[in-house]
Amino acid sequence: MRAGADDSHAEVGGHVRVEIDDDIAVIVVDRVGETVNTLDPDVAESLFAAIDRCASDAAVRGIVLTSGKPDSFMAGADVRWLMTLEDSSEAVARLAGMHAALDRLEKLGRRGGKPVVAAIHGPCLGAGLEVALACSARVASDDEARTQLGLPEIRLGLIPGAGGTQRLPRLVGLPAALEMILTGRSVRPRKASRIGLVDVIVPHEHLLRTARGLAREGAGQRSSRRSLTPSARRLGLDSNPVVRRLVLARAEQRAAKETKGNYPAPAAAIRAVRAGLGRRRGSGAAVELEEFGRLLIGPEARALMSIFLATRASKRGFTLEEYPAARRARDVGVVGGGLMGSGIAAVTVATAGVRTRVKEVSTESSARVLRAVGSAVDGLVAGRRMTEATGDRSKHLLTVTTDWTGFAKVDLLIEAVFEDLEVKTGVLRQFEEIAGPGAVFASNTSSIPISRIAANAADPTRVIGMHYFSPVERMPLLEIVVTEKTSGDVIATAADLGRRQGKTVIVVNDAPGFYTTRILGPYVNEAARMLGEGVSIRVVDGAMEQVGFPVGPFELLDEVGIDVAAKIATVLHDAYGDRMAPPPGLASLVAAGRMGRKKGLGFYTYEGGKRRRPDPTVAALVGATSVTKPSQEEISDRLILAMVNEAARCLDDGVLSGATDGDLGAVLGLGFPPHLGGPFAYLDRLGAGGAVARLRRLAEHHGSRFEPSPLLTSLAESGGSFHG
C-alpha cells in the first residue's frame, strides 16, 4: 500500500487503484471495460476496501477520491445490476451495506480524522454524488459543459438509495435539495458552488492539486462541513418546523399535480426527506431504504429502467466501425427550411457541429431559416448548454441559398419538403444530377414509403428515410427507415449523423407509415370517432393526459396540422384497409379550413398563437348529434389498445426488428407514457391473454378494427411475452 522504492500504486479489486502522494492517498476509480464509472457490488467493494485500507494506514493523513475516466467522475449505480434485483429485501440488504460504508466514510473526516476530498470532473450523478456527499469536502472543475452534479433517480422511477435524501438537505438546505431530488435535474459547477454543494471550483488542470491541498489542510482539524447554505440559514429551514412543513406540503402538492398519480417515486422521496429531518438521524435512512426497495420492484421503475437501457443500447447498432464503407458526414444539405427543415439544420450545426447548407425558395424564406436557427442556438447558449463562442461558431456553420450551388459536395442531403410524393421525387432527381459519388439522399417523410421515393432513383441503395419529430430541437427520436435495397453503409452514415445530432436512433423497415406514424394512426382515428359519438374534446384529451401522454390526441392533431393528418390517414387507409379508415370528420374539418395551430383554428381556438379552449362548433362539423361521457378507463382502453395492437402487427410484419425498438420509438417519438414502458412493455404488463380479451370485447362493441393481431393471439395461446 505504501509508496516505496518499487511502486507508488496499489491495485485494489481491479476497478480501483491507490496512488500515494507523500502523506495523501489518491483513490482512483476506473471501472474496467467501461467508458464511465458506475457502481455495482464489485466496484463498490473495491472502492470501500481502498478507503478502509487508507483509513488504517497511519502514514496517510488525508484522502482524495477521483476518477480514472477522462471526462466522468461517477455516473451512478449500474442500472443493469439494479434490474437483476427482483426482491425488495435483497435490494434493501445490498444498499444497507452501502449505507454503512458511507457512514464510515463520513465519520473518517471528523474529530481530527482523515479528510476525504472528492475531486470531481464530468458527471457526478446518482450514487456517484451520494459517495461525494459523504466526503469531507468536494472540489469540482469549473467546466460548465462537462461537470454536473445531480440525483437523477426520480427519472428511473426510484429515489436516491445511498443516503442522498438524508445528506443533501443537510448540506444545501431543504428547498434546493427537494428541487434536485424531485426533478432529477443536475446543477453545473457555478450553481453547485452557490448552493453549497461543492466547496471549491477550479480549472480542470488544478483539480487534483487543489483537492490534495484541502485534504492536507484539513488533516487533524475538526471537519468544516457546512450543514446549511447561508440563504437556508437565514430562512431557518432546518430549525423551524412550521416552515419545514410548509415547504414539504408544497412539494407534495406539486408532485401530485405533475405525476397525476402515475409515478410513486416523488411522494416516496418526500417521505424519506421528511423522516430524515427528524431528531433521530437513522430513521430517515431506514425510510429511504424501505422506499427504494419497494420502488425498485414496482412496474414504473422497471419500465423506466428498461427505456433507459434501451436508449443506451440504441447507440451500438449500425456504427461506422461495423461498416468501413460508411462515411462520417462533414457537409450536410437540407432542402426545405420550414419548421422541420430549420429544426434539422439547427441540431446539425449546433449539436453535431457539421457544416450545413439549406436550400429555400426565396430570399425572404432564407432569412427566416437564418433567424430560426439563430434563435435555437441562442436558446442553447442561454440555457448554458453551450458557450457563447461555441454558439457563434455553430451559426457560422450554416449557409442558405435559393439554388443548388454548393450542394455537389454534401455527403448527405435531407429533404424536408411537403408530404407529397411528386415533390419529394423531384428533389431526388435534381440532387442526383449534381451529387458527388457516394452521397446519401434522406427523406424526412412521415408516411410515404421510401421505396416509392426511391423507385426511379439512379442508385436506390443510397436512398434512406430519416424521420424527425417536431419540434426537432427537443424531440429525442430519429426513426431511420430502410428499404430492401438500402445499403448498410448508408444506414451507418445516417445513424452516425443522427447520434451526433443528439438523437436516439431506431432503424425500421420500410412500409407505409413506417412504425411511429403507423401506430399513431389508429390512436388518433379512435379519438376522432369518439368525438363523432359525442365525447367532448376536453374529456378525451384530459383522459389521455391523465394516463400520462404529454398532450391529448386533439391537441396533437392541431400541432401536427389537421390537413397533414388527413393526408397521412389516406396513405394508411390505402395501405392497410378498413381498420385504418379515418372517420369522415377529419375531411370535414379540412374542408372547413381548419388546419390546426398554424392557421389559428382547429379542434382548439387560438389567440396570438396560443391555445385557448376547445372549439364548441367542432362537434357539429364532425356530425356529433348527442353528448356522451364514457369513463376514463374506456377512453384509454380504446385509444391505447388500438395503438399497441397495431404495434404488435408492426413486429409481426417485420417493420420492427424487436420489441425494444418499438417501445423506444413510441416513448421517445410519440410521448407514450414512460411509466408504462412502451407498447410491448404495456402488453406484457396486461399479459397477452388479458390484452386479447380486452381487444375482443372492444371488437364486439366497436367493430373489427379491434380484432387482436395474429402475433398477440399466438402469444396469448402460448403464454409467451414480448420481452420474455
Q: Which residues are catalytic?
A: 479
**DSSP 3-state of 140:** strand
CA dist., res. 574 & res. 588, Å (int): 19
What's the chain's length in residues?
Answer: 724
Q: What is the CA radius of gyration of the chain?
A: 28
> Number of H helices and number of E strands within the chain?
30, 19
Give the residues across from 358 on adjacent strands. Answer: 334, 400
CA dist., res. 320 & res. 412, Å (int): 15
- Which cell numbers hold the place of 72? 466522468
The sign of the dihedral angle between the CA atoms of 339, 380, 493, 413 is: positive
Instruction: Report the greatest alpha carbon distance in the chain.
Output: 92
CA dist., res. 463 & res. 442, Å (int): 6
Place of cell 448540506: 171
Place of cell 419540434: 471
641 φ, ψ to 5°? -70, -30
**Residue 549 CB contacts under 8 Å (≥ 6 apart), including other chains:** 671, 672, 673
- Which cell numbers hold the place of 716? 396469448
CA dist., res. 307 & res. 721, Å (int): 17
Decide: 192 and 140 in contact? Cβ < 8 Å.
yes
CA dist., res. 529 & res. 649, Å (int): 22
- Which cell numbers hold the place of 405? 450551388
Q: Which of 318, 310, 317 is nearest to 659 (CA)?
A: 310
Count of Cβ atoms closer than 10 Å to residue 84 Cβ: 9
C-alpha dihedral (519, 523, 528, 532), degrees to nearest 10: 130
**Residue 643 CB contacts under 8 Å (≥ 6 apart), including other chains:** 519, 520, 522, 523, 666, 672, 679
CA dist., res. 569 & res. 582, Å (int): 6
C-alpha dihedral (590, 596, 600, 602), degrees to nearest 10: 70
CA dist., res. 618 & res. 540, Å (int): 14
Q: Which of 147, 116, 142 is nearest to 18 (CA)?
A: 116
Residue type present at position 209: R
270 φ, ψ to 5°? -65, -40
Decide: 568 and 519 in contact? Cβ < 8 Å.
no
CA dist., res. 512 & res. 572, Å (int): 6
Count of Cβ atoms closer than 10 Å to residue 246 Cβ: 12
* Cα separations in angstroms, 66 against 72, 205, 328: 10, 13, 34
